[in-house]
Structure 1
Amino acid sequence: MTKRRNLITDVAGLRIGNAHDAALGSGVTVALFDEPAVVSCEVMGGAPGTRETDLLQPDKMVPGIHAVVLSGGSAFGLDAASGVQAYLRQQGTGFPVGNVRVPLVSQAVVFDLNNGGNKDWGLYPPYRELGFQAAEKADLKFDLGTTGGGYGATTANLKGGLGSASATTSSGHIVGALAIVNAIASAVIGDGPHFWAGALEEENEFGGHGHPTKVTPEKRQLIWKGRSQPATTIALVATDAVLTKAQAKRLAIASHAGLARGLRFSHALLDGDTIFAAATGHQPLRKEVAEFTELTALAADCLTRAIARGVYEATALPYPGAQAAWKDRFPRA
């Protein structure tokens, strides 16, 4: 039996690639599916940036897609999907339309334009090239924290980043989550070091602190980024189960509970909170209702943990005045 990585790639049938530009202060993360995956999504933020999400709705004809991209760059970052599409076309991958193959790539972006990096890129933004590079690097193992689409991510009070986690259901299905934590609010309780996700932590994956003895009103005070600055956490949850497109939609909806548990707060007017849900179809559901219900619960748990891991594993950006990372603030923790 393959040793669990505690990454979304524990789900058979997908690989993750990352690419970033340190001077730019931004990057791209891509999930490539070995075979077209059943994917849907749910957008619950008030300020989303997305590409090719309408085709993921259960009433649309496309049965599966080839990749999901999670990127920095706000609306400029939507170019990343074109780079991934170019890579897939080069590999001969795509939805056949006559003599042409069209790779289907859906995407969501985070706003990371005010993090100190050099965004003066000239005529065209660099995200198409970053998308191609990320696709080239897709593998089962990948780094967390300040990497890929999480490179330039921030939260209200600590550096954000790329996080991931996985779990196994009682029926043996694998579920995992991948998140770019660029939250408008906070992943930690008060000033930290405890994470809102503390109750769900496994094997000290984000410091082993659990929850404080008491979450006082002072620790519950709302903090968020510059009051008119957009931000978002975007994510992919995946399972090796065989799901319909409607079930994938329900999985995406249910997974938003994990986003809400991992942050205080989420789904705000300035958020773009978008979650994709993918099924790679390696294991059928035998007791459909019970097994699917457990999948939705564990997917949400994985997303909560992935959010904490993204912040816990992050390192500060290499710019003067850059936001401190969790490990900078709590070096002895």
Structure 2
Amino acid sequence: MTPGPRNLITDVAGLKVGNAQDAALKSGTTVLTADTPFTASVHVMGGAPGTRETDLLAPDKSVTHVDAIALSGGSAFGLDACSGVSDALRAQDRGFSVGDIKVPIVPGAILFDLLNGGDKSWDENPYRALGRKAFESASEDFTLGTHGAGTGALAAMHKGGLGSASFVLDSGATVGALVAANPLGSATTPGDRHFWAAPFEIGDEFGGLGPDLSAGLGQPQISRKSQAMRADPQKANTTIAIVATDAALSKPQCQRLAVAAHDGIARAIIPAHTPGDGDLVFGVSTGAKLMTSEAELGQIGHAASLCLARAIARAIYLATPVYDDLLPCWSTLNAPD
């Protein structure tokens, strides 16, 4: 397995990603879409998810294809980003046909960034406009770190962010991950330098420092995030992600892809899947390539978990400082002397 040419989820041909953010708000939205509908399902392992249209993605539900997926900051307010994406899709006459009406199908998930210091004194919910703007800016190239849904994200010890990574398998299938990392847990071992995901790093995509060789690393750390927000740390977190492939997967197979990809969260964040996290992964297939065998699904799921672990580390590694941040960036704490 080797990374695709961009090392982004858009190495899966046909997929596009758009970001929109508001610097004063310290929040934003990220949208994944394509020119044609794609198969999708979802799996939730956190105890505090915030979602829209995810029930429809269960394998036994009627709709198999969606038009876009939105990841957003803003807690429950951020779910309105999906409405902005739906507005833009409707303007393009896209959606699920019901008679002579087309209804855009836009599942979404949100993270909590309401206590990160940004200006949240709006009169009108800003996320509908952010969702539409993110959709309309979607392309194969997009920016990671402090952008889109990762704009206001915070991990336990550092600023969080938006991350992505990809692999091309020996079979020719491509797998990619996109994540907004805002977890209760930490992406780094004690000391702020080494990433938990280091064993899975390719090259120096998040610093190339290698694993932490110390023992006893799983001991709880005092969270800078909970101290900075002065809030119950169990109520302000989540890691929301999308994993995608061009292999032709059914809706149940997309759910299995999402299940396998959750291992990537557990490899990159400690602790993960807590009662206070809304950890959620969407599984997506564009259906462009037939699988060579049923065994390939296991390989694709494994690759997705590794991509997601790498994407989480890249999200924290690429976060950039802005005025009045509550938490330091990894890059600031590890700047050369």
Question: 1:248 aligned to 2:254?
Answer: yes
Q: CA deviation at 1:228?
A: 3.8
Q: How many residues align?
A: 328
CA, structure 1 residues 228+246, in 2 after alignment: closer, same or farther (shift >3 Å)? closer
The counterpart of 2:328, out of the listed 304, 324, 330, is 324
Q: CA deviation at 1:265?
A: 1.0
Name the counterpart of 2:270: 264
**2:216 and 2:166 mapped to 1: Cα distance?**
32
Name the counterpart of 2:290: 284
**Counterpart mapping for 1:63-74 below 5 A:** 63-74=64-75
Q: CA deviation at 1:33?
A: 2.0
Name the counterpart of 1:30: 31
**2:4 and 2:240 mapped to 1: Cα distance?**
27
Deviates more, 1:223-232 or 1:235-244: 223-232
8 Å contact kept, 2:12–2:246: yes
Q: Percent identity?
A: 50
8 Å contact kept, 1:112–1:152: yes
Q: CA deviation at 1:286?
A: 1.4
Q: CA deviation at 1:230?
A: 2.2
Give TM-score, length-normalised by structure 1. Answer: 0.96
Q: CA deviation at 1:293?
A: 0.7
**1:137 and 1:44 mapped to 2: Cα distance?**
30
8 Å contact kept, 1:47–1:230: no
Moved over 2 A (4+): 216-230
8 Å contact kept, 2:176–2:243: yes
Question: 1:167 aligned to 2:167?
Answer: yes
8 Å contact kept, 1:186–1:223: no
**2:110 and 2:191 mapped to 1: Cα distance?**
27
Once the two structures are superposed, what CA deviation does each residue of 1:100-131 show, in whole Å capped at 9, x if it has no partner?
A: 11110000000000100000001x21000000
**Aligned-partner residue type, residue 130 of structure 1:** L
**Counterpart mapping for 1:11-30 below 5 A:** 11-30=12-31
SS at match of 1:105: coil
**1:120 and 1:163 mapped to 2: Cα distance?**
28
The counterpart of 1:302, out of the listed 299, 303, 307, is 307
SS at match of 1:280: strand
**2:14 and 2:252 mapped to 1: Cα distance?**
20
**Aligned-partner residue type, residue 156 of structure 1:** A
**Aligned-partner residue type, residue 137 of structure 1:** S
- State the superposition RMSD in angstroms: 1.4
Name the counterpart of 1:92: 93
SS at match of 1:249: helix
**2:274 and 2:286 mapped to 1: Cα distance?**
31
**1:100 and 1:218 mapped to 2: Cα distance?**
56
**2:322 and 2:117 mapped to 1: Cα distance?**
8
- Where structure 2 has 5 or more consecutive residues not aligned to the other structure, the ranges are 227-232
**2:281 and 2:140 mapped to 1: Cα distance?**
21
**Counterpart mapping for 1:104-143 below 5 A:** 104-122=105-123, 124-143=124-143
**Aligned-partner residue type, residue 64 of structure 1:** H
SS at match of 2:235: coil
SS at match of 1:220: coil
**1:55 and 1:49 mapped to 2: Cα distance?**
15
8 Å contact kept, 1:8–1:238: yes
8 Å contact kept, 1:71–1:108: yes
Name the counterpart of 1:180: 180
Name the counterpart of 2:239: 233
**Aligned-partner residue type, residue 141 of structure 1:** D
- Where structure 1 has 5 or more consecutive residues not aligned to the other structure, the ranges are none
Q: CA deviation at 1:223?
A: 4.0
